[in-house]
Structure 1
Amino acid sequence: MLEALDTEIGRLLGSMDESTRENTIVIFIGDNGSPNQVTKTLYGDHSAKGTIYDSGTHVPLIVTGPDIKPGRSDAFVMTVDLFTTITNIAGVTADSTDSFGFAPVLYGGETERDYIYVEHFQEDKSDSKPSDVFGWAVREENYKLVQIDDEDAMLFDLAVDPLESNNLLADGVSEIESQILSKLNQRYKRIHSQ
């Protein structure tokens, strides 16, 4: 799949004349995680594709074009941000409460987004999807709060636990964890009040 993707992207870019290529921004984003069959040994009990864990939501985003700063960024970006980013690059002002432009990041600046939010819901859960698909998660800084349907909330520190295997709330809630939990729950409420 990667070889085919590389070949086809190469063909697309190769089809552009030099002046078009110099005036084109290419945005490539992955979908919702890798197939579970190939990630079981890495993620253990968590599924990958489609889940609300990072294994199903943290995907590649590659942008190239004129004046774009090469390298990696740790900036938070969500797919809804593509709308405002693309309109901003095109010189149009977009008005959206949940889409933040990340164009400044492309040129070495910062984004206003300071959180990541994911949600997956379905009225009829009788299909064969794993239980960790349905629910929501919100992340600020390194901390991520995961709520899967009616299960107990889980809190992860992704700086030290990127595979989300150590639920910080499993052994009770410390004062610091309580403050983090309160902050993330407040963020969730603000998102749902918009």
Structure 2
Amino acid sequence: MRIVALILLTCSIGCSDPNTSSIPATDGGTLGLGTEGSTAAQRPPNILFVIADDFGVDVSPCYSDAVAHMPHLLALCADGLVFETAWSNPICSPTRATLLTGRYSARTTVGSQVEGNQTPGLPLDEVTLAQLLKNHPDHPYATGAFGKWHLSNQDNGGAQHPQTAGFDHFSGLLQGGVQDYERWQRTVDGETETVEGYTTTITVDDAMAWLDKLEDQPWFVWLAFTAPHSPWHRPPEGLYYQEGLTGEANHIQNNRDAYYAAAAEALDMEMGRLLDHRRVKDEPTMIVFLGDNGTPNQVLPASRPRGRGKSSLFEGGIHVPLVIAGAGLATGARIPHPVNAVDLFSTALDWAGIPAPSDRSIDGLSLIRYGTDPLAPPTRSWIYSELFGSNVVQSRTGQTLRDDRFKWIGYQDGSEMFFDLHDDPNEQLNLFDAVLSADAQASQADFEQALQSLGGRR
């Protein structure tokens, strides 16, 4: 399989190209947006986002000794850039909102799982990546979203929300998951019906069918798998490598790790089929693979303390795999610097040669500099994540920041934690009340300043 053209831009954050506009960034720098990625005579690259549901670094073969066998993901990591310190939000809806808007939850109001009108969906006045690409001044993108959406409720358009958010076509599930991977509710451009067939396979089938019909124009595909999110199950034969799976309820309950891995393997198999599609492999295409949040506690590896996976602000809840692939990348390069899912909005716009909106704060910083220079200095000095308390997921409001060594967690009830991730990667020793080194004190001061730039503590 040949992954084709991506990182061709050389202008990095803060460059002085006269064709580059800059907007303030919350990290104290500027976001350079080079226009050289697209001219009237040069078609910009396609953009493919692949999102795995409930998939942290602990279960990714590019980061750990994972149970799941995922050869296509391993090939993607070998062919592209692997970001070793990437954060998301602790649960799925907020991460999806940051990806589409380049803005943190405090700005979008999507800080918890969207469940009907109990919690906010993505507001209609947010400007999305799909809208900006669709309105490219020289080469309008075709925009398609497939799979899990989980950003809509009746306040923002319900079943029509994906189209309102800028997608020409949507085929997938509006809610947060399925009760049965073989029988589920699929919404296609506002119309919902029950379909039978494996969710992971149908999601890719729908995306490929849409690509087959496209005219000769750049495209943006948002492919959000439901897998490997629960319910744990046995995928169809031929889509997984795990052995001895009976699919019986008691066997699933006693072997959740194996069934979770099987769902991840099915995701990988179907992703490989999409990556081999002619519109992906034969055209310049930016490919991004991301986990939407950390690993569920039920299948969290023993190396992580229980209860510190998905829905938590600990590393197990927010440290996710992020891979960006395409010709022109330093093959197999690993980037150690802290980055955030929010940065992918600005990265994609940079590729397309589109400036970010200037009428609102944009938190994302383009990662494009690493495409030509994996040894480039960090784009930001800290990364940030947050969670709004909600009865829907039994969580409490909190915020967290980290730099290349230290990490702070603070909750609305006033409790705080401070960790040295170099010496304590599993966050076992809370140093908040300890006598801190000069370096740790400097990080604390930086974190406090960062919080103020984000509207303060919550």
TM-score (norm 2): 0.38
Distance 1:77 1:179, change over 3 A: closer
> What residue is the counterpart of 1:190 in the other structure?
453
- TM-aligned CA distance change 1:149 to 1:14, over 3 Å: same
Alignment check: 8 A CA contact 1:101 1:111 kept: no
The AA in structure 2 aligned to 1:26 is I
Aligned partners of 1:81 and 1:101 also within 8 Å = yes
Contact 1:67 1:107 in 2 (8 A): yes
**Which secondary structure does the structure 1 equivalent of 2:328 belong to?**
coil
Deviations 1:61-88 (A, max 9, x none): 0111020112211122211111110010
Secondary structure at 1:42 match in 2: coil
Q: Is the Cα contact below 8 Å between 1:104 and 1:110 reproduced in 2? A: no
- Structure 1 gaps, min length 5: none
- Percentage of identical aligned residues: 32
Separation (CA, whole Å) in 2 of partners of 1:42 and 1:64? 29
- Once the two structures are overlaid, the 10-residue window that deviates more, 40-49 or 146-155, is 40-49
Residues 1:90 and 2:364 are matched in the alignment: no
In terms of fraction of residues, the more strand-rich structure is: 2
- Which residue of structure 2 aligns with residue 113 of structure 1? 380
Q: 2: distance between equivalents of 1:4 and 1:146?
A: 35
Q: CA deviation at 1:43?
A: 2.1
For 1:2, the equivalent position in structure 2 comes to 264
CA distance in 1, matches of 2:265, 2:277: 18
Q: In structure 1, which of residues 143, 156, 160 is the aligned counterpart of residue 419 of structure 2?
A: 156
Greater RCO structure (CA 8 Å; 6+ sep): 2
Counterpart of 1:41 in structure 2 is 302
Q: Aligned pair count?
A: 187
| CA RMSD, Structure 1 to Structure 2 (Å) | 2.3
1:31 aligns with 2:287: no
Deviations 1:70-126 (A, max 9, x none): 22111222111111100101122225531100011122234422211011013xx44
| 1:102 counterpart letter in structure 2 | L
Change (3 A) 1:115 1:178: closer
CA distance in 1, matches of 2:311, 2:454: 21
Pair 162,48 (structure 1): closer, same or farther in 2 beyond 3 Å = same
Cα deviation, residue 175, structure 1: 5.8
Does the 8 Å contact 1:154/1:169 carry over to 2? yes
- Specify the alignment match of 1:181 in structure 2: 444
AA aligned to 2:346 is T
Q: Does 1:52 align with 2:317?
A: no
Give per-residue Cα distances to partners, 1:153-185, cap 9 Å, x unaligned.
111111121111111125x33363444323321
Check conservation: 1:40, 1:47, Cα contact below 8 A: no
Secondary structure of 1:156's match?
strand
Question: Partner of 1:76: helix, strand, or coil?
Answer: strand
CA distance in 2, matches of 1:25, 1:13: 11
1:62 counterpart residue number: 323
Q: Deviations over 1:102-153 (max 9, x none)?
A: 011122234422211011013xx4455255xx30001122111111231421
Give 2:366's aligned residue.
Answer: 101
1:17-62 superposed Cα distances (whole Å, 9 cap, x missing partner): 68x5351121010111111011263222542012111111110001
For 2:449, what is the secondary structure of its paired residue?
Answer: helix
Match of 1:139 among 391, 394, 402: 402
Over 3 Å counting, the alpha-carbon distance change for 1:150 and 1:13 in structure 2 is same
Q: Relative to structure 2, which stretch is displaced further, 96-105 or 57-66? A: 96-105
For residues 91 and 142 of structure 1, the distance between their equivalents in structure 2, rounded to whole angstroms, comes to 34
**Whole-angstrom distance in 2 between the partners of 1:183 and 1:27:** 30
Q: Which structure: greater helix fraction?
A: 1
Counterparts of 2:392 and 2:324 in 1: how far apart (Å)? 36
Secondary structure of 1:75 counterpart: strand
Q: If you compute each CA radius of gyration, which structure gives the higher value, 1 or 2?
A: 2
How has the CA–CA distance of structure 1 residues 10 and 167 changed in structure 2, closer, same or farther, with 3 Å as cutoff?
Answer: same
